Amino acid sequence: MRRRTAVVVGMAAGALALVAAGCGGGGASATSGVQGASHTLVTSGAKKGGTITVLSNGDVDHIDPGEAYYAFTYQITYVTQRPLLAYKPNSVTPVPDLAASMPTVSKDGKTVTVKLRHGVKFSPPVNREVTSADVKYAIERGFDAAVANGYAGAYFGVIDGAPTKSTNTVPSISGIQTPDKYTIVFKLSKPSGVFVGALQEPLTAPVPAEYARKFDKGTSSSYGNHQVATGPYMIQNNAAGKLTGYTPGRQIILVRNPNWNAKTSWRPAYADKIIFKEGFDPTVGTKQILSGSADVNGDFPPPAAELKSITSNSSQKSQLEFTPTSGSRYVALNTRKAPFNNKYVRMAVAYVLDRNAMRLTRGGPIDGKIATHFISPDFGPTGFNQAGGFNFNPFPSANGSGDVAKAMAMMKKAGYKSGKYSGPQVTQVADNSPPGSNTAAVIANSLAKIGFNVKTISVQHAAMYTRFCNVPKNEPNICPNVGWLADFHEPQTLLDPTFNGKNIIPTNNSNWPLLNDPAINKLMSKAEVELNPETRYKEWGHIDDLITETAAAVPWIWEQFPTLYSSKVTHASELWNEGGPDVSFMAVK
Amino acid sequence: MGAYIVRRVLWAILLLLVVSFITFVIFDVFPSADPAALRAGRNATPALIEQIRHNLGLDKPFYTQFWIYLKGLVTHFDLGYSYYNSESVKSEIFSRLPATISVTVGGFIVWMLIGIPVGIVSAIRPRSVVDRVMMGGSLVAISAPVYFLGLVSLFVFAKGTGQLQWFGAAGSYVPITQDFGTWFNSLILPWVTLAAAFAAFYARMMRGNLIETMHEDYIRTARAKGLRERVVITKHGLRAALTPVVTMAGMDIGLLLGGAILTEIVFNIPGVGRYAYNAITNSDLPAIQGTVLFGAFFIVFANLVVDILYAFLDPRVTYG
């Protein structure tokens, strides 16, 4: 699950699951991407030169491309590094980047071959051509605890010989083979429906072993501060390769990579320089963008009051674009503990929750659509439609405000004759600051309508995850402030880590409802190895429906992120990256 | 005097150790986030998290962790490395210190230049219209939160976001060594914002102290000697009335040098306060520990300086 930066307005920081996102705005179609955009993406012919200034509230999570995981960090990683595959703005379909063509997969699904482009070079001080060995080293170092990549095990653990235990050295993985300088072959222990999709992760961006190895030694790699680039831009550095353009928490300066060859890339790279200025209050940042003293918001959504003002201002309205955030927020009910080990009690909760009031705690309709299942609308034909799209809603109520009568009927089915809960108090662990704390209050009020007395323990957002909801033995009855975003547009990345029984682990657990339904697990095991995309999306769509019907978790919002551009630049929102700007496609007018 | 200073320094060291220990205990006992899990990311395996926990030394008992920290601190003045981004905490704090000093010293000068004269004027004309206006105004300034005042000042006076576009915008701070003009311009609004509440508080304190002092017997004696009122006030009244002001000033400067958190956040000044804020939100213990220790150091140091200054300000004070 990729995530937005740690510090977003109104939220505690840390292991942030979802961003406080933006604006529902116009009623765009279910499968559309960036909304509200009156600007066409400029892919060629725009003016070259100039400087683009991106404002952010927080810093990147890790400057090392092998560790990077935040959506905001990816805005920098993808224009400085070239993974095997990547996305163009306004698209969720991966295309070859460092790869010369899309990977080929053997019939048994266990061999994936990728051909690399010729003529791609590392930035100074390395200055040599990229080879397949550099991609192999990049992936291998991801398994080293000194690099601590968060998703290597999840997506690349399927490669033959990939470490199953944590290691403090860069392992040699036998299943990554480099028969020649421009070919890399992945031998998998079993077919994987998402492996090709995962090749767009920045872990596949090449790293020169002879240069990086000395930085990767020890318990914490310092390669990030000495990284070399392959993309059109590089983080400013000195002759020895030490970054001079990165000051943690303050700014990141990107300059042109002198070794980048435009003929090998589809990125237009109009601007000469890009400055990411960090530490901005969202209100102040929004005003600066509107005034033209900065160009675009990187990680923070403009505050609700500003959004309302912008959307009602005819001259500013066109500066705003809305992008779905590829996931949903939901309320997780602990299926291992009474009373939520009873399906009918959970269904009663699903009926009674006032999702409209919950949405109001994050700004109302301006924040997004009320969610009725887990695969979000931006998946469109890759799972959302197959799950029933907007028509699939097993727990309907007028305006999403809850249906007490149906909830009481479910409680009666659960054995509560009065239709109201009469057992002991239930506990939820919630954010200690708005908007999460307000959402939790709404949930407690909704549950009170069917007799629940909810005790709320309020903690910092990150502590809510890492000390309580992610640790099954500490998990309360309700985790009201959880959510999940897709790492890339494969529905498996939304549903498998979060609802597959095999993924329940003692720490860092993301299956918050602790759902372990053998029938659903079996279907997931089948879908995981399905190589035919159409069949795979259909299967995951069906799985989405089944999960929703268990009411183990109650989805309540599909959020959108508002990206605000100054009038001095062209627009380029990354649909695949939750709306962040693709600065390599932005031009100064 | 020498013995007194040595004694105070020893106590200060002990105090800093206690502060450091308490920070460790708070982090260990209260439900803060798990740094290893945060570092590993949301898709990481439990094995990776355990390896990171081991690498960071978080699998050791908290007293062992504290001892290792203390040893590094005493032997190498090593404040450790951030759990969040592996940067050296000492380097981060020292690189941010000039910004915090700039905010604090400038703010201090502004609030003293406003607060002391206003206090004096109000004290020598108590209950006059001027006094009432000034004290009423000071009440408003004390009541206005820095966050609110900062945003209002940015939306009225700052380039880029303001109506008048006079002064530097949020995020425009540069080190004094880089460009004095830009440095000065970027700090005008933070100084005024920071100084507003302090100036108001100091004005009220100065007024109260001076009114009280002006009723002392030795003031009456000075007047009886035929001294001019200006001399009575400046030479006799002010000197005594300033002593508590100096005490407070010492405390406040110490506090702000540890990080003027809100001011640095609103105006996006890369100082120690902003670093402390980020450290807290990231559950980054080494950075929290480092900033707490620095804050405590400045408060203790400022107190010591103030106590020594007493001897010069007030002839009745001597140190044995």
Query: Please, are residues A273 and A252 in contact by the beta-carbon 8 Å criterion?
Result: no
Going by pLDDT thresholds of 50, 70 and 90, the confidence category of residue B73 is confident
- In chain A, pLDDT over 70 holds for what percent of residues? 93
- With 90 as the cut, is the pLDDT of residue A12 above it? no
- With 60 as the cut, is the pLDDT of residue A4 above it? no
- Closest approach of chain A CAs to the CA of B44, in angstroms? 4
- With 80 as the cut, is the pLDDT of residue A99 above it? yes
Grouping H, G, I as helix, E, B as strand and the rest as coil, residue A276 is strand
Q: Do A14 and B38 touch (CB under 8 A)?
A: yes
Best A165, A169, A201, A250 residue to mutate vs chain B (most B CBs within 10 Å): A250
- With 80 as the cut, is the pLDDT of residue B65 above it? yes
- Closest approach of chain B CAs to the CA of A86, in angstroms? 20
- Chain B residues within an 8 Å CB radius of A69: 41-42
Q: Do B48 and A148 touch (CB under 8 A)?
A: yes
- With 60 as the cut, is the pLDDT of residue A18 above it? no
Grouping H, G, I as helix, E, B as strand and the rest as coil, residue A25 is coil
CA angle, B142 then B148 then B154, to 5°:
120
pLDDT greater at residue B85 or residue A74: A74
Going by pLDDT thresholds of 50, 70 and 90, the confidence category of residue A273 is very high
Query: Please, are residues A354 and A403 in contact by the beta-carbon 8 Å criterion?
Result: no
- Chain B residues within an 8 Å CB radius of A462: 32-33, 38, 281-283
The predicted pLDDT at position A8 comes to 34
Going by pLDDT thresholds of 50, 70 and 90, the confidence category of residue A1 is low
- With 70 as the cut, is the pLDDT of residue A426 above it? yes
Q: Mean pLDDT across the stretch A215-241?
A: 95
Largest distance between two CA atoms of chain B: 85
- With 60 as the cut, is the pLDDT of residue A25 above it? no
Question: Residues 121 to 180 of B: which have CB under 8 A from any A CB?
Answer: 151, 154-155, 159-161, 169-171
Going by pLDDT thresholds of 50, 70 and 90, the confidence category of residue B251 is confident
CA-CA-CA-CA torsion for A526, A529, A534, A539, nearest 10 degrees? Answer: 20
Residue A436 phi/psi, 5° resolution? -60, -40
Condensed to tens digits (0 to 9), the pLDDT of residues A157-192 reads 999 999 988 788 999 999 999 999 999 999 999 999
Best A280, A281, A474, A511 residue to mutate vs chain B (most B CBs within 10 Å): A281
Sort A448 into a burial class: Cβ within 10 Å, 0-12 / 13-18 / 19+. middle
Going by pLDDT thresholds of 50, 70 and 90, the confidence category of residue B31 is low
Q: Do A219 and B55 touch (CB under 8 A)?
A: yes
Condensed to tens digits (0 to 9), the pLDDT of residues A514-554 reads 999 999 999 999 999 999 999 999 999 999 999 999 999 99
- With 50 as the cut, is the pLDDT of residue B188 above it? yes
Distances (CA, A) of B100 to A60, B39, B85: 23, 28, 22
Q: Do B266 and A281 touch (CB under 8 A)?
A: yes
Pairing of strands A104-105, A327-333: unpaired
Q: Which residue of chain B has the CA closest to A14?
A: B282
Going by pLDDT thresholds of 50, 70 and 90, the confidence category of residue B239 is confident
Q: Mean pLDDT across the stretch A353-378?
A: 93
CA angle, A559 then A584 then A33, to 5°:
30
Q: Do B46 and A508 touch (CB under 8 A)?
A: yes
Condensed to tens digits (0 to 9), the pLDDT of residues B101-152 reads 999 999 999 999 999 999 999 998 888 998 899 889 888 888 888 889 999 9
Q: Convert A540-585 into a string of H (helix), E (strand) and C (coil).
A: HHHHHHHHHHHCCEEEEEEEEEEEEECCCECCCECHHHCCCECCCC
Grouping H, G, I as helix, E, B as strand and the rest as coil, residue B200 is helix
Q: Do B38 and A55 touch (CB under 8 A)?
A: no
Nearest to B27, CA basis, from A463, A162, A253, A272: A463
What mean pLDDT, rounded, does chain B reach? Answer: 88
- In chain B, pLDDT over 90 holds for what percent of residues? 38
- Closest approach of chain B CAs to the CA of A291, in angstroms? 6
Q: Radius of gyration over alpha carbons of chain A, in Å?
A: 24
Least confident segment among A14-28, A94-108, A454-468: A14-28
Q: Which residue of chain A has the CA closest to B34?
A: A466
The two three-digit tokens of residue A311, written as one number: 């959307």
Query: Is the link from the previous residue into A65 a cis peptide, with omega within 30 of 0?
Result: no
Best A246, A293, A473, A474 residue to mutate vs chain B (most B CBs within 10 Å): A293
Q: Is any Cβ of chain A less than 8 angstroms from the Cβ of B246?
A: no
Q: What is the ipTM of this complex?
A: 0.80
- Residue among B41, B154, B282 whose CB faces A284 most closely: B154
- With 60 as the cut, is the pLDDT of residue A326 above it? yes
What mean pLDDT, rounded, does chain A reach? Answer: 91
In this structure, what DSSP letter does residue A409 have? H
- With 70 as the cut, is the pLDDT of residue A10 above it? no
3-state helix, strand, coil split of chain A in percent (to 5) is 30, 20, 50
A-to-B residue pairs, Cβ atoms closer than 8 angstroms: 168
The predicted pLDDT at position B310 comes to 75
pLDDT greater at residue A250 or residue B283: A250
Least confident segment among A102-116, A172-186, A291-305, B8-22: B8-22
Going by pLDDT thresholds of 50, 70 and 90, the confidence category of residue A27 is very low
pLDDT greater at residue A307 or residue A82: A82
The predicted pLDDT at position A6 comes to 36
Measured distance CA(B305)–CA(B314) in Å, rounded: 14
Nearest to A180, CA basis, from A102, A100, A257, A125: A100
The predicted pLDDT at position A30 comes to 33
Least confident segment among A102-106, A490-494, B228-232: B228-232
Measured distance CA(A466)–CA(A483) in Å, rounded: 14
The predicted pLDDT at position A34 comes to 63
Best A288, A290, A309, A495 residue to mutate vs chain B (most B CBs within 10 Å): A288
